[in-house]
Amino acid sequence: MTPSTPPGLGPPAPVDYRRLFRLDGRRAVVVGAGSGIGRESALALAAHGAEVVCADRDLAAAEATTRLAPGLTSYRLDVLDAEAIRLAADELGDVDVLVDSAATNVRKRLADYSDDEFDRVVDLNLRAAFRLVRAFGPGMALRGRGSIIAFTSIRSVTVEEGQGVYAATKAGLVQLLRAAAAELGPSGVRVNAIAPGVVETPLTAPIRAVPEWAAAYATKSALGRWSRPDELAGAVVYLASDASSFVTGTQLFVDGGWTAVDGRYTPPT
């Protein structure tokens, strides 16, 4: 017997692979777009046709990003302010893509950490990400589409002295995003993480200021070097676009093979 086509269903429409990564007609919000990975993510999304809102606590830095390419607007957003996040979700309208690149670190051994330092790292790396998902996720679910992307780290799976609290927030963020993927997936919203290795950003400036430390990190990945912020942008475009339409609840490592070779180094703390 020849299987019959279920009522109302026909053969799938052919895929135009030339437009697989295009984001025309989509609105993206990039948190932390004033510098580093956030800035390059915003530029890459705009280059693929998205209308991009560059959100940053430093409005001048966000405005500097908007001057680098067309299709970008700036928005002041302090993600440590819960009310500001709620207002942003209301004011920015229908958001199809949310990228969270904001993060901080205090490099100290656990015994030397103060409660205030612990709170500072947890508040930005984990609590703010939770608030962003809570604010923007429901609107995406109501519209039946959306992609939420947050940056974790190789430290979500491998740690070193002085990185305990940062690593804990990144591991926690992975599970938070997986839960969001499970909860929002039935409504057509995808949620994923990108885990960079060592990247030349303002956050890693203290490391790169110590020649021995910088050189040791450079040799601990399979590619034997640090990455640039623009080398993370392709992963952002991929996860924002239809190229990843069946990808959710995952952590994409863009680490130059660091976790593959299990690079180790004991830094000064």
DSSP 3-state of 262: coil
Question: Would you call 217 exposed, middle or buried from its count of C-beta atoms within 10 A (0-12, 13-18, 19+)?
Answer: buried
Is there a catalytic annotation at residue 166? yes
Give SS3 for 14.
coil
115: amino acid identity, one letter: D
Gap between the Cα atoms of 213 and 267, Å rounded: 7
Measure the CA–CA gap between 41 and 21, rounded to whole angstroms.
14
Decide: 190 and 150 in contact? Cβ < 8 Å: no
SS3 195: strand
Single out the catalytic residue among 75, 166, 217, 238: 166
Question: Tokens 């709170």 map to which residue?
Answer: 119
Query: Using only C-alpha atoms, what is the Rg of the chain?
Result: 19
Burial (0-12, 13-18, 19+ Cβ within 10 Å), 203:
middle
HSE-CB for 139 with a 13 A CA cutoff: 19
Active site residues: 166
